Amino acid sequence: MTASQHMVQANGLRFRTMVDGPAQGELAILLHGFPEGAESWSKQVEALAQAGALAVAPDLRGYGLSDAPGAVEDYAIANLVEDVVGMIKAFGRDSAHVAGHDWGAIVAWFFAGRHPEMTESLTVLSVGHPAAMVAAARDDDQKARSQYVGLFLMEGKAEAVLADDDYRRLRAMYSIGPNPDAMPRAMVEHFVRSMSRPGRLTAGLNYYRANLVPGTGWS
């Protein structure tokens, strides 16, 4: 099976989605992180479809070919959660298995907390429970690890730093971790091109600006 692309209307916005699997299969929604897109889940979409699920990986609001509202507050967690609610309903379902990585994990945590009746299962990668994140934000070691957040909250400066030298620092973000070559180079370049479109880098950074307070966690 090969994933197809569909534009889906949800929560007043249009979302580009990668979809694979039988229409009658259990719905699985896969939420990507910063600074990525639906393609980061391509292997999981394929595997879930082969297992009989209807797998859906959207470009989150502000990313890829999905709509990108212009105001910082448009990226508040309440809006991001309702995007997921709308996607589930757009596929004619009342619930779904939800997985997320990075910011997608944060959205997944809040979605499950606010809509347990719509959550068949929850799978999160890289991000702990929001309450644990608040506690960790007060730890000196975690503060040191999260210094980049302070930069991301600086409107204009963060965009300039990440875009400088042909997006060198943005490209470097895809190589962080024990296996720096895990993401194929073609996918890295796809994401860089996507994030370099007008307003898209700011949209991704607005997830931080709308929701985080330095040193304390959630706004």
**H-type alpha helices, the chain:** 42-50, 77-90, 103-114, 130-136, 140-145, 147-152, 157-173, 185-195, 200-211
Name the token pair of 131: 């309450």
138-168 residue pLDDT tens: 888 888 888 899 999 999 999 999 999 999 9
| Structure confidence at residue 2 (pLDDT) | 80
> Residue 63 — φ and ψ, nearest 5°?
-110, 155
pTM over 0.85: yes
28-39 residue pLDDT tens: 999 999 999 999
| Structure confidence at residue 196 (pLDDT) | 97
Each of the 219 residues of the chain gets a pLDDT tens digit; together they read 588 999 999 999 999 999 999 999 999 999 999 999 999 999 999 999 999 999 999 999 999 999 999 999 999 999 999 999 999 999 999 999 999 999 999 999 999 999 999 999 999 999 999 998 888 878 888 888 888 999 999 999 999 999 999 999 999 999 988 888 889 999 999 999 999 999 999 999 999 999 997 655 565
Topology of 4-218 in CATH?
A: Rossmann fold (3.40.50)
> Residue 207 — φ and ψ, nearest 5°?
-60, -40
| Structure confidence at residue 74 (pLDDT) | 98
Name the token pair of 195: 């994030």
| Structure confidence at residue 214 (pLDDT) | 63
| Structure confidence at residue 139 (pLDDT) | 84
What distance in Å separates the CA atoms of residue 126 and residue 31, rounded to the nearest whole number?
A: 13
Domain ranges of the chain: 4-218
| Structure confidence at residue 188 (pLDDT) | 95
Residues 6+ apart with CB under 8 A from 112: 98, 119, 122
Beta-ladder partners of 101: 125
Angle 169-211-194 (CA atoms, 0-180°, nearest 5)? 40
| Structure confidence at residue 210 (pLDDT) | 97
